[in-house]
A and B are shown apart, each in its own frame.
Chain A
Amino acid sequence: MNTVTRARPPLIVWGAVVAVMLTAPTLVVIPLSFTSQRSFRFPIEGWSLQWYERFFTESRWVGALMTSLGVALTAAILATIVGTLAVIALGRSRIALGPVARGTLMLPIVVPGIVVAVGVFGAYLRWGISGSFLGLVLAHTVLSIPFVMIPVTTALRGIPETVERAAAVLGANPLRRFTQVQLPLLAPGLVTGFVFAFVTSLDEVVIAFFLQSPRLRTLPVQMYSSVTVETDPTIAVASSLVLVISTIAILVPRLVANSRTKRLATLTKEAAS
């Protein structure tokens, strides 16, 4: 981490090519969303905000965006709480069946989405929560828990056991050890987990498709439905929005962390001089 490797020019070129190939198809939707044409044709002949106007004035698009944000936010909060508590419970104490519990919680990464979707759909029909906000939030929470557990587990491993022992012997009861020592030290892992959980829910389409109802449609489901019946660039607007929201969600915590490290570095320099 503290050694800077200088990349050689051929590697830089190769890296750039791969980066462009990976991102270009995605980025194409952004200029398309500003076209004046009613088609996805290239090159773009004129610019207009009409598709944005259409997106934000039609209740089915705005409603889908709000549903997506609401579900993603709620699911990410729940997954962060449940995932973190699970990691702490499984991490230090030796619970019988601990590895089994951990494996079960990590299953959503391995099981194909369509299989989960069919299973959840069947169960929800019986319970009567198919098509409800609660049902979708629960499904997305389960799906996101592994993405919280991975970074939080890494963060927990970074805390030496003696730091918690020091807190205990210096007079902190278990609750204060958690709030004053463990939680602040786990915070970076927690933020990463939250962001990944949020993004996972935001672009999940298979389960959301199965569980949809006329009043509960996430943005990806709305996009999928719209692309099968009509092809106007409103969908490019929707894609651009999902892209921008996901990117911001992932970038902001990193930028905050970076500026904090830089501030710390300058502080250290000042202290040294």
Chain B
Amino acid sequence: MTRDAHVPDHTGANSLQLEAVTKTYAGVAAVEAVDLDVRAGEFLTLLGPSGSGKTTTLSMIAGFTAPTSGRVTLNGRDITAIPPHRRNMGMVFQNYSLFPHLSVGANVEFPLRQRGVGKAERRRKAMEALDAVELGHRADATPDQLSGGQQQRVALARALVFEPALLLMDEPFGALDRGLRERMQLEVRRIHQQLGVTILFVTHDQQEALTMSDRIAIFNQGRIEQLGTPEDLYDRPASHFVATFLGESTVLTGTAESGTLTLDSGQQVSVGGHSVTGPARLVLRPERLRLDPQGAPGPSLGGRVRDVVYLGADRRVEIDTEAGLVIVRLSADVAAPRSGDLVHVHWDPVDAHLYPAA
């Protein structure tokens, strides 16, 4: 099954484009020349550390912030200068942002009221939306009588009840505890698949991005560092930043020349297939490393096991080598080494990523 399998084929599908969108504050670029093409029905996540420009980008899409330059289009229509209340987007905020003076039901009716929907129709649709998040029985409660998770589900119902062109979610689960966060993630995925709504999601939580998204745009210093499916980003990171930001990795530094990397500690490892020369960083994913007997083909490093941590499905092994600490993940059904054992870490050159050391 391809990733695009649940993209709805109904006409009126909603797609969003950013063209060279830039926002500068007092001469400093918070977002620099960002191009982004969000496909109809897809779940796209803007992921990055705080201050990387992802929230500013979302804010320009919602219309709260005007870009310094560039264009935002929705279904081919230029909306750069359109105020937020005429963009027809739903939005969920980190702090829920329900209207405290209105009942839960009235909160969900709010967007319909702005669109001139009649009272009976409004109530019916609001109840439907609340039932979808299993809160139909709390329609008469006030927001402060609900728990954080319930409030966020009401906010979700409120953002979806008017069938918006696009659903924006700004770190929506940041304020929830872990168990609740995971349940909400599943619920949003289910809603996304049921309704086929286009979702633009902002988070700094890489695990959340990996589990929920069709595609992820990694932000770093106001630019999109890489855009792709979770598999693309994890298996083929385009830069050292992406490789280390997403998932756990071991980074070894050295100097590359004609297919060989001379590590700072002196060992030489083969990096066939990479054209980098000069100072470079080698990034190794823990689950792509093996502990093989000495002399097996391919690049390897010798070292002593420092610690073995049992994680259920696999084990995390820390190995001290002359080149530095190397982390290896071994499936739990492979015989585990013990602390103090001398081992050899092997990998396939295609699984190692080499980047110029900037």
Contacts and interface: CB of A to CB of B under 8 A. Distances in A.
A-B pairs, top 7 by smallest CB distance, nearest first, are A171-B114, A170-B111, A162-B97, A168-B84, A166-B97, A184-B101, A169-B91
Interface of B: 62-64, 83-91, 93-95, 97-101, 110-111, 113-115, 141-142, 145, 155, 158-159, 162, 168
Contacts of A181: 99, 101
Contact of B89 (A167, A169, A264, A268): A169
14 contacts: A160-B95, A162-B97, A165-B97, A166-B97, A166-B155, A169-B63, A169-B87, A169-B168, A170-B158, A171-B115, A180-B113, A181-B99, A181-B101, A264-B142
A254 interface: no
A174 B83 CA distance: 10
A98 to B, nearest CB: 19
A165 B64 contact: yes
Contacts of A176: 114
A176 B85 CA distance: 10
Interface of A: 160, 162-163, 165-174, 176-177, 180-181, 184-185, 264, 268, 271
B97 A172 contact: no
Contact of B114 (A162, A165, A170, A264): A170
Contacts of B87: 169
B84 A165 contact: yes
B83 A168 contact: yes
Contacts of A167: 99, 110
B84 A169 contact: yes
Given A167-B110, A173-B114, 5 more contacts: A165-B91, A166-B99, A169-B91, A171-B162, A184-B101
A172 B85 contact: yes
B110 A170 contact: yes
A168 B64 contact: yes
Contacts of A174: 85
B86, B101, B141, B142: which has the most chain A beta carbons within 10 Å? B101
A169 B64 CA distance: 9
Contacts of A163: 97-100
A163 B94 CA distance: 11
Nearest to B106: A180
Nearest to A183: B101
A80 to B, nearest CB: 19
A176 B99 CA distance: 14
A100 B114 CA distance: 37
B151 to A, nearest CB: 12
A172 B159 CA distance: 13
Contacts of B115: 171
A169 B93 CA distance: 11
A203 to B, nearest CB: 33
A185 B100 contact: yes
A169 B85 CA distance: 5
Nearest to B110: A170
